[in-house]
Amino acid sequence: MFVLVLGTIYMGYQVDRSNSWKVIGGFAVMFVAMFFVLKNATGMTFRTLLLLGIGVRAVLLFSTPQLSDDYHRFFWDGSLTLHQVNPYLVLPEGVNMSADSTAPEMQVALERMNSAEYYTVYPPISQAYYAAAVLFGSHTMSGFLFWMHVFLLVAESFLLLFMVFLLVKTDRNPQLMALYAFNPLVIIEFSGNLHFEGVVLFFLAITAWMLMHSRVYLAAVPLAMAISVKLLPLIFLPSIWNWLKNKRYLFYLLVFALFAVTFAPFVSRELLLHWHSSLSLYFKTFEFNASLYYAVNRVCGAFVGFNPIAVVGPLMSVVAFAGILFVAFKKSFSIPERIYWSLFIYLLCATTIHPWYVAPLIAWMIFTKRREAVVWTFLVTLSYIHYHNNAFSENYVFITLEYILLFAAILTHKRWAHRMPLMI
């Protein structure tokens, strides 16, 4: 645990993304430490594990994200909202901040933003978090980052607690929560780099708790909020279709209605156009560290003589949707297994796989007997090699290595998974 905390401090305060070998090495040390923590976790109470899980995240309260610069966009969007400007209607690269000496922090955020040429795609609840962090942080970047860390620490603390409740409710060992609590990728990407998948999982945990206690219509509220943090939970909706039975239509109607309500302060025709254009870029332009998409894209590209992402990207989305529907209605799967494999299929077909995209798999994995997600959370850290020396260039040798080892882990799961700690 001491080594895991030291690794967290190093990765949260000292490491530089441009030195990718230090990043990968830091993650490697943390994963080894995690293994030994999990090996001894059966001798600890879940209360001890819960406090340690919260404590290792609290170490990052005063850190600045070292592996991601997305927080500049978060600060920018939150500042616009507080200035009563609709963030969905402003293209950052078209704004001239030099004449506004009252917003120096916004000027810095604009200069360092990695997406200034795109309209924001972060949904309204995320925007509310950003605005609150800017407000509580007195419009300074340091204050903003502190409050963002606080928001994520609170969300993940309650998430860990709800995981214990849900594990007990499903007659599983509550110590399985440790698989999520001490996973280095989860700790660094959520609590360290401020990616809000941790908040999404918090709202989804509340949803699961309410559904398990037959509060079906009330569960629509946290589910709609989860979608309004990030759109990812939309792919989980088919997985609970059969379970909801005669309540399904009103439940889904409530979810979408509540999700639409969160847009009320921002709604306009331009919002829909800008959001659509930015989301289209994700499927038709962006590509990073992908697996099946890269294989299909390269084969098709060899025939047509150019990068066919504009066709292959949407095509892979259709393949993913078909796969999600297949597992969602597979009777032999439990609901957690359906959600786990839905997310796995989505990620395998995606055009872009950043490390924090993979981390949510662990939250669903602990309710199944699968363990290959742990392997992927380490292998995906190899993608930081693409940022070496600040000269972004994808290294396809490492991408190939990542996915060969991942598929090997999936195919040989029965041979090695039982040796992992906390398999109960």
208-227 pLDDT, tens digit per residue, is 999 999 999 999 999 999 99
Q: How far apart are CA 130 and CA 156, in angstroms?
A: 17
pLDDT at 326: 97
pTM of the entire predicted model: 0.95
pLDDT above 90 for 262? yes
Q: Is 225 helix (H, G, I), strand (E, B) or coil?
A: helix
pLDDT above 70 covers a percentage of the chain that reads 98
Backbone angles phi, psi at 264, to 5 degrees: -50, -45
pLDDT averaged over the chain?
93
pLDDT of 201 strictly over 70: yes
pLDDT of 424 above 90: no
Mean pLDDT computed over 269-292 = 82
DSSP string, 147-174: HHHHHHHHHHHHHHHHHHHHHHHTT--G
Tokens 């206690």, residue located? 213
Mean pLDDT of 189-218: 97
Q: At what angle do helices 309-328 and 335-349 cross, to 10 degrees?
A: 170
Q: Nearest 5°: phi and psi at 346?
A: -55, -45
Mean pLDDT of 258-274: 89
Q: What is the pLDDT of residue 272?
A: 82
Which residues touch 358 (CB under 8 Å, ≥6 apart)?
Answer: 185, 347, 373, 376, 377, 380
Query: What are the tokens at 254?
Result: 């409530």
Decide if 136 contacts 110 (C-beta within 8 A).
no
pLDDT at 392 > cutoff 90: no
- Nearest-angstrom CA–CA distance, 252 and 230: 17
Q: How confident is the model at residue 55 (pLDDT cuts 50, 70, 90)?
A: very high
Q: What pLDDT is stored for residue 305 in this prediction?
A: 84
pLDDT of residue 334: 94
Q: What is the pLDDT of residues 318-355, one digit of tens each?
A: 999 999 999 999 999 999 999 999 999 999 999 999 99
Q: Residue 19 corresponds to which amino acid? A: N
What are the b/e assignments for 192-225, b being 16+ CB within 10 Å? bbbbbbbbbbbbbbbbbbbbeeeebeebbbbbbb
- The DSSP secondary-structure symbol of 188 reads I
Instruction: Indicate whether 136 pLDDT > 90.
Output: yes
* 3-state secondary structure at position 288: strand
pLDDT of 101 above 70:
no
Q: How far, in Å, CA of 249 to CA of 348, rounded?
A: 30
| Mean pLDDT (whole number) for 144-150 | 98
Q: How far apart are CA 75 and CA 84, in angstroms?
A: 14
Q: Is 68 helix (H, G, I), strand (E, B) or coil?
A: coil
